[in-house]
Amino acid sequence: MKILSSLLFFLLVSTSTFAQSSNLREIIDKRSSEIEEQVIEWRRYFHENPELSNREFNTAKKIAKHLNDLGLEVQTEIAHTGVVGILRGGKQGPVVALRADIDALPVVERTDVPFKSTALGEYQGKEVGVMHACGHDTHIAILMGVAQILTEMKSDLQGTVKFIFQPAEEGAPKGEEGGAELMVKEGVLKNPDVDAVFGLHISDDTPVGEIEYRPHGIMASVNSFDIKVTGKQAHGSAPWNGIDPIVTSAQIINNIQTIVSRSMPLTRQAAVVTVGVINGGVRNNIIPEEVTMQGTIRALNEEMRQHIFKRLETIVKSTAESNGAIAELTINKGYPITYNDPELTAQMLPTLERVAGKNNVKLINAITGAEDFSFFQEEVPGLYFFIGGLPKGGVAAGHHTPDFYIDEAGMKLGVRAMVNLVFDYINQTGH
């Protein structure tokens, strides 16, 4: 009889919990549909009024006003222009952080939309066009919508949510700190201490309605590098009187390509070393004294990353010395690997599959793009995933290009995914 009573109690509790969960999910779906038009309106505002990294002043004001209007605890000027909203639920429980990046790029928009950006800004001392050419405008709008829905459902929330609106994901201006690294340094994951962090990125080559994920490393680490090659200036008709930094630089570029092709165990992970900028000389018949180069390093394995650094230094200096030139290499601090905690990913995968439909959730290979969301993941378990922004039958222009285009229908899935991740994580790990 006692066993039967216990079994009956268990069934009643399980049924009640299931009904409560189903009801919450229905509310989330309903509110996500109802708020979709507002989310699109927010996105169009930010798209039409983009701001560069560490200069997102008006963007931050609009975000802060929305969070204040919701009655959240709001912190501003974090990492220069970052905004954080804190929502404390009806009961004590885990602390979940949700992040959206808010900066735009120095790109002149070429798309033909009514809310096209004509904004101008200053980048590296030059006036430039400014465009949300990577989808950060959609990320802001999605997280604003998530904040509104979760605030409305506060009484059902057994925990705390931190809404992190992060500046300078694309990199702080030269000579400045910024982005996720500075936010972490300033304590954004503390007081209250965050237990898990979730982030998403809209993708212009993933169909609307799909989600892409990967446990472990999903995006590469990134480091930029600078090389200065110093030779001896001479008349172009008498190269034997000088030391040619242009020929030396050409040899360095060619030799650098052997780092990946001959030094990396590519069956383990991908890696990239690219020279993207080279400057030297002012006249066709003058061998210059100096050439400068800039490039990028991408890796999906920390051991391989460190090996690239060593090989790059050896090749640059040795190649220059073999020509009688001098080369200086500077490897700049970058972003770590965007690493999805495998246990957290496995725990939350059923949520993503339920929200998007199992057939619409795809396991992908790691990509060599980079994300400073990785700094949050170095501190606490994190999950970063992609949502589709490519219209059915559409063609992707590519991120960071003047023709970058996102189908706004993809944002609703982002809202639903984030809200459901919060409730499911808190219900599964509640204290």
Mean pLDDT of 171-184: 96
pLDDT above 70: residue 1:
no
Buried b (16+ CB within 10 A) or exposed e, 142-163: bbbbbbbbbbebeebbbbbbbb
What is the secondary structure of 298-335 as a DSSP string?
A: EESSHHHHHHHHHHHHHHHHHHHHHTT-EEEEEEPP-B
Tell me the residue ranges of DSSP E strands in 220-378: 221-230, 234-235, 271-280, 286-287, 290-299, 326-331, 338-340, 361-363
| Residue type at position 250 | A
Alpha-carbon gap, residue 326 to 181, rounded angstroms: 34
pLDDT above 50: residue 15:
no
* 12-218+337-429 and 221-331, same CATH topology: no
User: pLDDT grade, residue 2 (50/70/90)?
Assistant: low
CA angle centred on 365, ends 363 and 371, rounded to 5°: 100
Q: Give the gyration radius of the chain's Cα atoms.
A: 25
Record the pTM. Answer: 0.92
pLDDT above 90: residue 3:
no
pLDDT tens sequence across 57-105: 999 999 999 999 999 999 999 999 999 999 999 889 999 999 999 999 9
pLDDT above 90: residue 307:
yes
Q: Backbone phi, then psi, for 381, in 5-degree steps?
A: -60, 135
pLDDT tens sequence across 367-425: 999 999 999 999 999 999 999 999 888 899 999 999 999 999 999 999 999 999 999 99
pLDDT above 80: residue 8:
no
DSSP assignment letter at 19: H
Mean pLDDT of 321-325: 98
What is the pLDDT at residue 19?
54
What is the secondary structure of 83-102 as a DSSP string?
A: EEEEEE-SEEEEEEEEEEE-
| Residue type at position 247 | V
Token reading at 18: 């299931």
Active site residues: 335, 408
pLDDT tens sequence across 108-130: 999 999 999 999 999 989 999 99
Mean pLDDT of 318-327: 98
pLDDT tens sequence across 336-347: 999 999 999 999
**Which residue's structure tokens are 């409730």?**
423
pLDDT above 60: residue 4:
no
- Show me where the domains of the chain are located: 12-218+337-429, 221-331
Strand partners, 226: 294, 330
pLDDT above 90: residue 5:
no
Measure Cα distances from 251 to 134, 189, 258, 285 in Å.
35, 46, 11, 20
What is the pLDDT at residue 9?
47
What is the pLDDT at residue 13?
42
CATH superfamily label, 12-218+337-429: Zn peptidases (3.40.630.10)
**Which residue's structure tokens are 């809310």?**
115
Strand partners, 361: 211
Fold of 221-331: Alpha-Beta Plaits (3.30.70)
Q: Compute the half-sphere exposure of residue 355: CA atoms within 13 Å on the CB side of its CA.
A: 30
Mean pLDDT of 248-268: 96
Share of the chain above pLDDT 70, in %: 95
